[in-house]
Amino acid sequence: MSEKVLLIDDDARLVGALQIRLERAGYEVQTAENGDQGLSLAALFQPDAIILDIRMPKMDGFEVCQIMRTVPELVDVPIIILSASGETGTQKAILDAGGKLFLRKPYHLPQLLSILREVIDGRARTKCPA
């Protein structure tokens, strides 16, 4: 059985491309275009990891992280933040809200796949890679 990844991002082109790449790497992938949809889908899909954008309509990534950390079934699911916002304060705030790692867009696929493997295996520490 393949590991499950939930992508939550309002950028349809990025989501489509990343979904294809993750599926080729052997992951089962579901997508959501906003935070509300992502929370609902996470509860049903029970992902092994979540890749989340910060700036989205309806509910931003900060709120999504904070809510997920209160849901017993989702509290331990690692959340990788993938965002164009690279300010140090933003990175710290999202990690404080419950994100596991922060990566800037545009992402580097080998680095993202490596980090995804680490968080699913439980080897990653909370950090902001360069």
Residue 58, C-beta contacts closer than 8 angstroms, at least 6 positions apart: 34, 35, 36
pTM (global) more than 0.75: yes
- Burial (CB < 10 A; 0-12, 13-18, 19+), residue 1, is exposed
Sign of the alpha-carbon torsion through 108, 129, 8, 4: positive
Beta-carbon count within 10 A of 45 CB: 17
**In a domain? residue 116:** yes
Q: What is the tens place of the pLDDT at every residue in 35-51?
A: 999 999 999 999 999 99
CA separation for the pair 81, 50 (Å, rounded):
8
Q: For residue 88, what is the domain's CATH number? A: 3.40.50.2300
Taking 50 as the pLDDT cut, the residues of the chain under it are 126-130
Q: What is the tens place of the pLDDT at every residue in 78-96?
A: 999 888 776 667 777 777 7
* pLDDT confidence of residue 1: 63
**In a domain? residue 27:** yes
**In a domain? residue 130:** no
**In a domain? residue 128:** no
Strands of the chain (E only): list them.
Answer: 4-8, 28-32, 49-52, 79-83, 101-104
Number of domains within the chain: 1
Q: Give residue 49's domain range.
A: 4-121
